């Protein structure tokens, strides 16, 4: 029987823990941690994420800041704003919502954020610290995935783990986190041959490639822990659409030991881990 991992419930628990930590921080420091989000342009999905993050930040007792810039903003103007936020003592965490317009160099913007305030964990210094086993601000999605994996399986030492996807946002940091816990890690990607064979060996499967139902249910190793990071919008045939993951959820039920649904699995944990990173950054500063 497959256990459905309730990301909403786990995220609510983590957010409650963060809120308690914020209260302690305020009592000691005399101020609340501050998270500022920068949104460039009018991308609807990004706007929804920013609203959700702002609401969650306030509910946790933190100070929520927001800068909305037009899609025509110059790279120099955006970099100047980031520099100002770096210098602002009331700002503990800076998040520049991606994607950015094409005329802006995303890597340059992310590298300009103070690593100590990089609550997304995307700065090269944080990425390097994670890769070399040092303490770092870790990208929120893989951090949340690891929490769910360890709560399902306990000690994952020596377990066969497969990460499908090699992005700097999820795939690579996810592999680094699993490796740090002594799992045996394989990274698959668009040029991997015989993906089904790799999936069949995996006791832990993290799918983060953005292709709807790429992983077939019959490929999954019986009893495996399946974490589906994919968020794909597909047509339902009645003029509407729905969100679905990278894994054939219905096909995996009854075969996987644990699985995250889409939506309601990884997504809520991402925002909760953002709050945890902000509190961590505030304490470190």
Among 114, 118, 120, 246, the active-site one is: 120
Q: Residue 235, SS3?
A: strand
- Cα separation, 193 vs 184, in Å, equals 19
Nearest to 265 by CA among 59, 55, 3, 1: 3
> CB-based contacts of 42: which residues, under 8 Å, 6+ apart?
71
Among 53, 117, 159, 280, the active-site one is: 53
- Cα separation, 93 vs 96, in Å, equals 10
Q: What is the pLDDT of residues 139-195, one digit of tens each?
A: 999 999 999 999 999 999 999 999 999 999 999 999 999 999 999 999 999 899 999
- Lowest-pLDDT choice from 106-110, 118-122, 239-243, 278-282: 239-243
Q: What is the pLDDT of residues 40-49, one digit of tens each?
A: 998 888 888 8
CA dihedral 108, 113, 116, 117 (to 10 degrees): -140
Mean pLDDT of 199-222: 97
Q: What is the pLDDT of residue 285?
A: 85
| Other Cβ atoms closer than 10 A to 218 | 12
The single residue listed with the structure tokens 């941690």 is 33
Before 115, cis peptide (omega within 30)? no
Q: What is the pLDDT of residue 136?
A: 97
Phi, psi torsion values for 178, nearest 5 degrees? -65, -40
- Cα separation, 45 vs 171, in Å, equals 21
| pTM of structure | 0.95
Mean pLDDT of 213-226: 97
Sign of the alpha-carbon torsion through 226, 124, 136, 140: negative
| Domain residue limits, the chain | 30-114, 140-266
Q: What is the pLDDT of residue 240?
A: 85
Which two structure tokens, joined as six digits, stand for 215? Answer: 């992983």
- Is 140-266 the same fold as 30-114? yes
- What percent of the chain clears pLDDT 90, i.e. is strictly above it? 91
Which two structure tokens, joined as six digits, stand for 69? Answer: 């810039």
- Report domain 140-266's class: alpha beta
Which two structure tokens, joined as six digits, stand for 34? Answer: 């501050």
> Is 159 marked active-site?
no
- Separation in Å, CA 221 to CA 156, 198, 205, 255: 16, 10, 9, 7
Q: Residue 34, SS3?
A: strand
Q: What is the pLDDT of residue 237?
A: 77
- What percent of the chain clears pLDDT 70, i.e. is strictly above it? 100
Terminal CA-CA length for the chain: 46
Arithmetic mean of pLDDT over the chain: 96
> Is 105 marked active-site?
no
Mean pLDDT of 105-120: 98
pLDDT category, 205, cuts 50, 70, 90?
very high
Which segments of the chain does DSSP mark as H helices, in order? 7-29, 44-59, 75-87, 106-112, 124-131, 140-153, 171-180, 195-201, 249-252, 266-284
Q: What is the pLDDT of residues 224-281, one digit of tens each?
A: 999 999 999 888 878 788 889 999 999 999 999 999 999 999 999 999 999 999 999 9
Q: List % helix, strand, coil for the chain (3-state, nearest 5).
A: 45, 20, 40
CB 195 within 8 A of CB 175: no
CB 7 within 8 A of CB 260: yes
Among 92, 97, 114, 118, the active-site one is: 97
CATH number for the 30-114 domain, one of 3.30.360.10, 3.40.30.10, 3.30.420.40, 3.40.50.10860? Answer: 3.40.50.10860
Residue 41 has, within 13 A of its CA and on its CB side, a CA count of 17
């Amino acid at each position: 029987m497959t256990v459905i991992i309730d990301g909403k419930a786990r995220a609510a628990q983590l957010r409650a823990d963060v809120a308690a930590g914020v209260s302690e921080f305020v009592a000691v420091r005399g101020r609340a941690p501050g998270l500022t989000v920068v949104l460039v342009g009018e991308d609807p999905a990004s706007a929804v994420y920013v609203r959700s993050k702002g609401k969650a930040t306030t509910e946790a007792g933190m100070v929520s800041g927001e800068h909305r810039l037009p899609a025509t903003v110059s790279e120099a103007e955006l970099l100047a704003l980031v520099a100002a936020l770096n210098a602002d003592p009331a700002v503990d965490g800076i998040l520049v919502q991606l994607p950015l317009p094409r005329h802006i160099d995303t890597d340059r913007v992310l590298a300009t954020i103070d690593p100590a305030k990089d609550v997304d964990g995307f700065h090269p210094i944080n990425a390097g610290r994670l890769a070399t086993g040092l303490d770092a601000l870790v990208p929120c999605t893989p951090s949340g995935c690891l929490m769910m994996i360890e709560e399902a399986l306990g000690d994952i030492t020596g377990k066969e783990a497969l990460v499908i996807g090699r992005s700097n946002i999820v795939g690579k940091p996810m592999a680094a986190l699993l490796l740090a816990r002594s799992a045996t890690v394989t990274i698959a990607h668009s040029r991997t041959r015989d993906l089904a064979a790799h999936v069949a060996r995996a006791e832990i499967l993290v799918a983060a490639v953005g292709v709807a139902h790429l992983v077939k249910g019959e490929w999954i190793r019986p009893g495996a822990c399946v974490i589906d990071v994919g968020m794909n919008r597909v047509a339902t045939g009645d003029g509407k659409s729905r969100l679905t993951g990278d894994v054939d959820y219905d096909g995996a039920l009854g075969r996987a030991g644990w699985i995250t649904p889409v939506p309601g699995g990884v997504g809520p944990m991402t925002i909760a881990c953002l709050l945890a990173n902000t509190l961590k950054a505030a304490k470190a500063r």
